[in-house]
Amino acid sequence: MKVTAAPLRPTAGSEEGKEGSRTAELRAAVGQEILDLLGWSDEVGMLFFPYDHHLLGMPKCRVTGCSQASVARRLCEGCRLRWRQAGRPDVDEYVEHARPGTRRTGVEDCSVKGCPRPFRSWRNPVCSTHLGQLTRLQVTLEEFLVRDDVVPLPAFGPCEVLACHRKRDGRSPYCHGHRVRWSCAVKRGLSRHDEARWRRTTAPVSANNEVSLRGLADRVVAEILFGIQARTREGLHTTQPVLRTLTNRLRELELPSLTAVDLDQVSRGERGFCSSLVTQVSRFGLTPEGERAKDVWNGAVFGHAGYLRFTGIHQPWLRSAAKEWAFFSLPQRRGKAIATCQDVVSAFALLSESLKLQREDCGNDIRAVGRRDITAFTNRLSYLRHTGVISPRRTVVIS
């Protein structure tokens, strides 16, 4: 199906400084190959998932002539329902003889050559004005389209809903779908004062393999594009229904970044996917050298899962020593390397707490630390063991 879209209108506000730089870096890291695969253009702001890709989107329904995406047994919802009504025959035999459903989704331009207005329906593929003219003339569509007095008409402009890529079909500021939605919203009690926010946050009218990123913050768009690329490179499957539901929710929340999302704010079905995108974005630009200076290390930078935390170590010199040990120890470990190293770092933290409690300088002066402090530390370990704070095994490991 040919999809026409109105140019993307800029959202209110712009990113500046560090945040804008981060957005630009993320966007620059997205390769042209994945953008072409998803049919992305910055002007339109739409993703079109390919049907034949094993990691992106959902395959097309197996029934010949059906343009819908499949959901189960490689059949779309309509064809699957008709398959069940037919008594659940063998699927391979069914798809050879089944008739596709007559219902189709999406909107195209009027069939009159050069007319940019959206058509009325798939049964009447001309705009409302030309449909009225066709009805008055009482001729077939083929005869109508070749008449000299049938001329293209000027467009009404794009739908005023930020997320929508469709065109208006009349003097209303909305496309047909959003005109109906706004009417229903008014009946439910939404006032004209709420219309501006409704235009910013309401969901687009999407069909089949389309996902709209219009109306989202530039940073969120860059994060989603980068996240999809990273997931695809790791062999993870991304489907348009899950992404569509997540983007609709993000649009409602009007958040500046995926990292600002509280997972309780999204539905259970999208939490795992949202968390995956955030993880991919958080890893962008990280290096072992850069991570070394932080107090919380992302294990993925070193090839391991999890985070290594040095925040429990108070003295700068001791924290630096623990980081130095961990930096050279991680490459020598396999399996649960982060958990193993965290056990040792936790022992550093216990020593740090002991120095903080038992020295007047809180242990900040390394030159003043001596044998007495180690003896005090071992005594504190015995105290913690007897009070149940640490186990006897843990005491032996630390010692």
Mean pLDDT confidence for 352-369: 91
CA-wise closest residue to 315 among 288, 350, 341: 350
Q: Which of 75-79, 130-134, 202-206, 370-374 has the lowest mean pLDDT?
A: 75-79
The share of the chain scoring above pLDDT 90, in percent, equals: 57
Rounded to whole angstroms, how far apart are CA atoms 29 and 23? Answer: 10
Q: Is 312 in contact with 288 (CB distance < 8 Å)?
A: no
CA dist 272 to 102, 132, 267, 277, 284, Å? Answer: 36, 50, 10, 9, 19
Whole-number mean pLDDT of the chain?
89
- State the pLDDT at residue 1: 40
Q: Which residue has the higher pLDDT, 11 or 25?
A: 25
Q: What one-character DSSP code corresponds to residue 234?
A: T
Sign of CA dihedral 217, 222, 223, 229: positive
Mean pLDDT confidence for 206-215: 89
Residue 270, φ and ψ in degrees, nearest 5:
-105, -5
- State the pLDDT at residue 42: 92
- pLDDT tens for 173-187 read 999 999 999 999 999
Rounded to whole angstroms, how far apart are CA atoms 392 and 386? Answer: 9
Rounded to whole angstroms, how far apart are CA atoms 350 and 344? Answer: 10
Mean pLDDT confidence for 267-276: 92
- State the pLDDT at residue 7: 63
Q: Which of 4-8, 25-29, 137-141, 234-238 has the lowest mean pLDDT?
A: 4-8
Q: Is the pLDDT of residue 278 over 90?
A: yes
- State the pLDDT at residue 2: 47
Give the pTM. 0.77
Which residues are 309's β-sheet partners?
Answer: 296
CA dist 112 to 6, 126, 323, Å? Answer: 19, 7, 70
Rounded to whole angstroms, how far apart are CA atoms 321 and 344? Answer: 12
Q: Is the pLDDT of residue 150 over 60?
A: yes
Q: Which of 83-97, 191-205, 335-349 has the lowest mean pLDDT?
A: 83-97
- State the pLDDT at residue 75: 87
Mean pLDDT confidence for 356-382: 90
Tell me how far the alpha carbon of residue 164 is from its chain's centroid: 18
The 3-state DSSP composition of the chain as helix, strand, coil percent (nearest 5) reads: 50, 5, 45
DSSP-assigned letters across all residues of 238-290: B-HHHHHHHHHHHHHHT-S-GGG--GGGS-HHHHHHHHHHHHHHHHTT--HHH
Rounded to whole angstroms, how far apart are CA atoms 360 and 374? Answer: 15
Rounded to whole angstroms, how far apart are CA atoms 117 and 172? Answer: 13
Q: Which residues make Cβ contacts (< 8 Å) with residue 114, sequence separation at least 6?
A: 152
- State the pLDDT at residue 8: 67
Structure tokens given for 40: 């992305």
Rounded CA Rg of the chain: 30
Q: Is the pLDDT of residue 353 over 90?
A: yes
Q: Is the pLDDT of residue 18 over 80?
A: no
- State the pLDDT at residue 102: 60
- pLDDT tens for 297-306 read 998 888 888 8
Mean pLDDT confidence for 241-251: 94
Most confident of 53-62, 101-110, 323-332: 323-332
- State the pLDDT at residue 17: 61
